[in-house]
Amino acid sequence: MHARENAHAPFSKFRVGAAVEDSAGHVHTGCNVENATYGLTLCAERVAIFKAISEGVRRFKRMGVVANTEELTPPCGACRQILWEFCGDIEIVLANLNGKSETLRLGALFPRPFDGSFF
C-alpha cells in the first residue's frame, strides 16, 4: 500500500498505511504520523478515518491496514474504538508487504465495545 510510504516515523521506523472505503466506493488513505512525545502520535487508521470524516463521509464499508511485518498488524485499541464509533462492524483487511493477508470483522477484534448505546 502506497499510503505507508508517506508515514512520518523517524523514531520507531514502523511505517503503517491504511485505507478506508466509504459507502460510495471512494477510498481515503492515511499513514502514521509520529511525534517526539509518542502520546501525540496518530496511527494510520485514525488518520484515514479523520480525513474521510473531515470531507463529510459518514458511512464506511471496509478498511485495509498494511505494515512491513511478518505477523499481520491489527489496529491498536484506540483505533479499534474510533473505528467502532465511526464505522461499526466493518470488514478489516490486514496485509503485509509479502502478500500475506487476512480479512475479519471489527467485532472479532473488538468483541465488547463501548459506544453510544450505553447512554
Q: Which residue do the cell numbers 480525513 mark?
A: 51
By CB atoms closer than 10 A (0-12, 13-18, 19+), residue 61 is middle
Residues 55, 28: Cα–Cα separation, whole Å: 10
Does 45 participate in catalysis according to the annotation? yes
Select which of 45, 70, 91, 102 is catalytic.
Answer: 45
* Sequence-ordered list of residues with C-beta below 8 angstroms from that of 72, at least 6 positions apart, any chain: 94, 95, 96, 100, 101, 102
The helix/strand/coil state of 34 is coil
By CB atoms closer than 10 A (0-12, 13-18, 19+), residue 60 is buried
Positions annotated as catalytic residues are 45
